[in-house]
Amino acid sequence: MSNNFKCEKLRRIIKENFIFFLTLMTAFFLIWFISNITVGRNHSKTIIEYSYWVGIPEELEANRLVIEAFHQENPDIQVIVRHHPWADYFTKLYTGIVTGTAPDVLRMSYAFLPDYVHYNAIEPLDAFIATDSTFDNDELIQWPYETCIVENHIMSMPIDCPMDIFYYNKNMFEAAGLPYPDENWNWNDLIETGLELKEYFKKNDMNDIYSIGGVLYSQFVMENGAKIIERDKMICTLDTPSAIEAVQFVHDLIHKYDLALAPEAENSIGGDPFLKEKCAMTYGGSYMLQTYNKKATFNWDITYRPKGKKWIAKTLACGLSMTKRCREKEAAWRLIKFFVSKRAQEIYANIGAFVPIRKDVLNSDSFLPSHYKPKHKYLLLDVEGSISQNWSCRNWGRFRTAIGQEIDLVMEGKLLPVDGCRRAAIRGNQILDEVYGR
């Protein structure tokens, strides 16, 4: 009787709590199943983490397609992808370096590369390049490597060839009855045509439109045969006659001829002045091609930057670096190498905002398709003959801010160019002396 009573009580408890027991058993099964799947995956595939910043929306899709293609060709490797806005990227990267949680492969800016090499956070790529017989280095345009070499080692693999080019609004030139800019233009042509455009805008009560946009002093300094940093000695040379002459030229575009806005005033317009038809011509990077191709409501084209003493298509080449903490270096190298493969470069080329680093893709139908608007898009093919100038250094952000504050005062009309350049050189060299222990 007692035993029957106990059994009946047990059956009643089980019946009343059936859902609870079923849920508990299901949870235990799922935990067992997922843990076994995870363990199996970790044993069958090498896992690496890749991180990059998002500059334009099209980069998200391009990276997704590249990683998808990589997985197809490398089924033994699984890439975990992280992406962040530019504003947060290097803060998160630095935190990862300090805490030992940095990714295995990461997008690296040439400007900040010296700092991360100094932190002993980046693995040199020289040995991988030298010993990998499948790596077709000869097919790559070589000059972007200059911005990826630190302390005589290749610390990053450049994956594209961004160029500084010159955009112009064809409608405005036609309305003013002026010929389009071309590859023979120099700084004098820029001023002469800018003044004619200014006169046309004035006559037609278009006083809120400027002739020229995007006038950043650094490019003019290089085009005038000067340097911001003499990298052999790591000294700031903004106080040299050629550098002062270039800054004077930019100052005069703004204040003497009233053809351009100072960068700070240009930023106050809100949005891209060229896209908003607030300037007839603008200096800009090749990365803006896709934006203008999609959003511009007027006819536009491109040409070379008007020549100074030199023609320099300044590269802002950014590449892929491998971190020292990476345990799966062979897999990481395979990913880096894949990004400059023909398949991956064709994916990037199809976006239209990236100039391929591979010669066979640069000169193929994958790059600059027929529906692309710029008539003179073929000028981008001259990237092989471009000249790069690298002015990166340790503590580059601090250095750039310090010298930029003095040059901004020049562009705002508060300092003479010669005084601003000398003050910038003094402040720049104080920082360089400090970081390089002089």
Tokens 């023909």 correspond to 342
Cβ count near 371 (within 10 Å): 7
CA dihedral 337, 340, 343, 346 (to 10 degrees): 160
Distance CA 268, CA 276 (A): 13
- The residue among 110, 403, 434, 436 whose CA lies nearest residue 237 is 403
- Given the DSSP bridges, would you call strands 210-213 and 300-303 parallel, antiparallel or unpaired? unpaired
Distance CA 283, CA 215 (A): 6
List helix spans (H) across 47-186: 58-73, 86-99, 113-118, 126-131, 170-176
In this prediction, residue 362 carries a pLDDT of 83
Helix axes 58-73, 329-339, angle to 10 degrees: 120
Residues 6 or more apart whose CB falls under 8 angstroms from that of 60 comprise 54, 83
- Tell me the DSSP string of 382-410: GGGG--------TTHHHHHHHHHHHHHHH
Report whether 247 contacts 421 (CB < 8 A): yes
Cα separations in angstroms, 173 against 79, 150, 281 = 49, 44, 10
- Angle (CA) 211 215 219, round 5°: 140
- Tell me the DSSP string of 188-213: HHHHHHHHHHHHHHHHTT-TT-EEEE
User: How many Å is the maximal CA-CA distance in the chain?
Assistant: 113
In this prediction, residue 14 carries a pLDDT of 46
Cα separations in angstroms, 318 against 115, 168, 332, 357, 406 = 15, 26, 17, 11, 27
CA 202 to chain centre: 37
- The residue among 184, 305, 316, 194 whose CA lies nearest residue 246 is 305
Residue pLDDT tens, the chain, 438 long: 455 544 454 455 445 555 554 554 554 454 444 444 443 344 589 999 999 998 778 889 889 999 999 999 999 999 999 999 989 999 999 999 999 999 999 999 988 999 999 999 999 999 999 999 999 888 988 878 888 889 899 999 999 888 888 999 999 999 999 999 998 899 999 999 999 999 999 999 999 999 999 998 998 998 898 999 998 899 999 999 999 999 999 999 999 999 998 777 787 888 899 999 999 999 988 888 888 988 999 999 999 889 888 766 555 668 999 999 999 999 999 999 999 999 999 998 887 667 888 988 987 877 766 556 677 776 776 665 555 567 889 999 999 999 999 999 999 999 999 999 999 999 999 999 999 987
Report whether 314 contacts 389 (CB < 8 A): yes
Coil vs helix vs strand at 423? helix
| Complete domains list, the chain, with CATH | 43-162+316-373 (3.40.190.10), 164-314+390-435 (3.40.190.10)
> How many CA atoms lie within 13 Å of 72's alpha carbon, on the beta-carbon side?
8
Backbone angles phi, psi at 153, to 5 degrees: -130, 145
In this prediction, residue 262 carries a pLDDT of 79
> How many CA atoms lie within 13 Å of 31's alpha carbon, on the beta-carbon side?
6
Tokens 């006038």 correspond to 215
Distance CA 334, CA 105 (A): 10
Backbone angles phi, psi at 323, to 5 degrees: -85, 155
- Given the DSSP bridges, would you call strands 105-109 and 46-54 parallel, antiparallel or unpaired? parallel
Cα separations in angstroms, 348 against 117, 275, 351, 357, 372 = 27, 24, 5, 10, 15
Distance CA 385, CA 281 (A): 24
In this prediction, residue 371 carries a pLDDT of 56
